[in-house]
C-alpha cells in the first residue's frame, strides 16, 4: 500500500471542478486503501478561520473525515494560504495536524515534510510578511473580526499576493539551494517532500557525499497532482479533471 502526498490544491468556490476532483480522489480506492494521506499545505485558496460557515469547508471536512473513518490516517500541515486552520476544524475533519518541518518514517526512510515556503529565502518581502502573519497577536486580531470582514480581508490579500507574484522574478520565488541543504542537514535526512512552488519534480543530488532527493508536489489549478511512495517506488503524477 502506498503513502500519498498532495499539496497546493487552492480549493475555491470559483473553481468547482477542482473541488469535485478532490472529493472524487479522496473517495477512490487508491486513497481508501493507502497507508496514509498527507496534505502539505494550501488546501484552500484562503482560510478565514475554523468558524467559517461556508459550504466549502464543510465539503472538505466530509471528504477527509470519510478517509479517516475508512482507517487511513490523514495528516495536514498548514501552508501560506491556510495557516489559520486550527484544532477545531482538524477535529471536525479527522485531520492530524503536523508542524512544518516534521520528520516521518515513510516506508523505512526518514523523510522531512514541509510546505516549502520557508525555503524561499531569496524572497525577502514574502518572508517579512510570513513572520508577521504567523504571530499569535496578528492571528488573534484577524480571527476577532466578523466573518464578512475576514472574507473581504482575504480577498484583498489574494490580490496583493497576485501582484507580488507578477512583479517578482521566478528564481527569487523558488527555493534556495543552500537553505534546502542546511534544512535537510539539520533534520538528518536525505529525502525532502514539499509543495508551495508549484514546480512538480524529483530532484536528485548529493548532500555531504550521500545521494539525496527533493520531491516537489504539483498544484491543482488545471489538474490534480499526487505523489505515491510505496517502498522503492516513487511516482509523481497528474490527475485529470472530469
The pTM (predicted TM-score) of the whole model is 0.94
The region, left, alpha or beta by phi > 0 then psi within -120 to 50, assigned to residue 32 is: alpha
- C-alpha to C-alpha distance for 80 and 78, rounded to whole angstroms: 7
DSSP readout, 84-111? T--HHHHHHHTEEE--TTEEEEETTEEE
Is the CA virtual torsion 27, 31, 37, 38 positive or negative? negative
- C-alpha to C-alpha distance for 87 and 45, rounded to whole angstroms: 19
Angle at which helix 124-133 crosses helix 136-143, to 10 degrees, equals 70
Per residue in 84-137, pLDDT tens? 999 999 999 999 999 999 999 999 999 999 999 999 999 999 999 999 999 999
Cβ partners under 8 Å of residue 238, min gap 6: 218, 223, 224, 225
Per residue in 105-115, pLDDT tens? 999 999 999 99
Amino acid at each position: 500500500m502506498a503513502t500519498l502526498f498532495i499539496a497546493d490544491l487552492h480549493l475555491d468556490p470559483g473553481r468547482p471542478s477542482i473541488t469535485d476532483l478532490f472529493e472524487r480522489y479522496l473517495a477512490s480506492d487508491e486513497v481508501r486503501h493507502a497507508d496514509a494521506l498527507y496534505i502539505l499545505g494550501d488546501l484552500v485558496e484562503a482560510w478565514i478561520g475554523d468558524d467559517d460557515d461556508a459550504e466549502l469547508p464543510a465539503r472538505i471536512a466530509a471528504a477527509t473525515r470519510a478517509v479517516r473513518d475508512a482507517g487511513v490516517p490523514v495528516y495536514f500541515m498548514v501552508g501560506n494560504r491556510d495557516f489559520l486552520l486550527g484544532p477545531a476544524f482538524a477535529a471536525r475533519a479527522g485531520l492530524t495536524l503536523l508542524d512544518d518541518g516534521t520528520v516521518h518514517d515513510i516506508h523505512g526512510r526518514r523523510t522531512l515534510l514541509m510546505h516549502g515556503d520557508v525555503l524561499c529565502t531569496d524572497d525577502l518581502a514574502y518572508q517579512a510578511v510570513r513572520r508577521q502573519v504567523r504571530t499569535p497577536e496578528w492571528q488573534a486580531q484577524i480571527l476577532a473580526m466578523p466573518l464578512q470582514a475576514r472574507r473581504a480581508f482575504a480577498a484583498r490579500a489574494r490580490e496583493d499576493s497576485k501582484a507580488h507574484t507578477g512583479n517578482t522574478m521566478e528564481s527569487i520565488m523558488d527555493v534556495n539551494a543552500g537553505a534546502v541543504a542546511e534544512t535537510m542537514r539539520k533534520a538528518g535526512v536525505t529525502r525532502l517532500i514539499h509543495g508551495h512552488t508549484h514546480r512538480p519534480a524529483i530532484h536528485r543530488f548529493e548532500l555531504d557525499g550521500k545521494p539525496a532527493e527533493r520531491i516537489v508536489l504539483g498544484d491543482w489549478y488545471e489538474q490534480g497532482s499526487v505523489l505515491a511512495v510505496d517502498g522503492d517506488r516513487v511516482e509523481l503524477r497528474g490527475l485529470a479533471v472530469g
